Amino acid sequence: MVKKLSHYDADGRAGMVDVSSKQPTRRKATASAFVAMSSAVLKDLPKNPKGNPLEVARIAGIQAAKRTAELIPMCHPLPLSFIDVVTQQRTDGIAILATVTTTAATGVEMEALTAASVAALTIYDMCKALDNAIVIRDLRLETKSGGKSGDYKR
């Protein structure tokens, strides 16, 4: 069976999917990203003159999830029930995990991906003065649950 892209009509015009006939269900999605950086930058994280980059990134990710529909043209504005952004320092960088839940007629994958990506960008912004070679990589959906298409786990 060939899947079709849902954001295009028969004439190939982009548009928002009509979810008005779908029943609201509990939806949850988790996305991750990784910010690779040198050990020297990692060592200097606590001394950052802009503040704690990991805490600022956590808050930025939460804010970003709430504004996803303003950033991604075909995303529906959703009543988000919960947003959590966790950062973990590793030997080669910072791992980010963003989880978003709602009870709605459509899923929250884009909100979780937006939260993880903006958290990663915030870390980059706060640390770029120390090293321009920082790399954001591996932005991806880890899990999703709820909805017609069922559960997904990477």
The boundaries of the domain holding residue 113 are 32-153
Residue 22 belongs to a domain: no
Model pTM above 0.85: yes
Model confidence at 4: pLDDT above 80: no
Model confidence at 26: pLDDT above 70: yes
Q: What is the DSSP string of 70-131?
A: HHSTTPPP--EEEEEEEEEEETTEEEEEEEEEEEESS--HHHHHHHHHHHHHHHHHHHTTT-
Residue 115 belongs to a domain: yes
pLDDT tens profile 69-85: 999 999 999 999 999 99
Model confidence at 7: pLDDT above 70: no
Q: What is the DSSP letter of 7?
A: T
Q: What is the DSSP string of 37-71?
A: --HHHHHHGGG-TT--HHHHHHHHHHHHHHTHHHH
Model confidence at 123: pLDDT above 70: yes
Domain count, the chain: 1
Give the model's confidence band at 150: pLDDT under 50 very low, under 70 low, under 90 confident, else very high.
confident
Tell me, what amino acid is at 52?
Answer: N
d(CA 88, CA 104): 30
Residue 137 belongs to a domain: yes
CATH of the domain at 58: 3.30.70.640
Residues marked as catalytic: 125
pLDDT at 18 (0 to 100): 67
Model confidence at 130: pLDDT above 80: yes
Q: Say which residue, 24 or 144, is predicted with more confidence.
A: 144
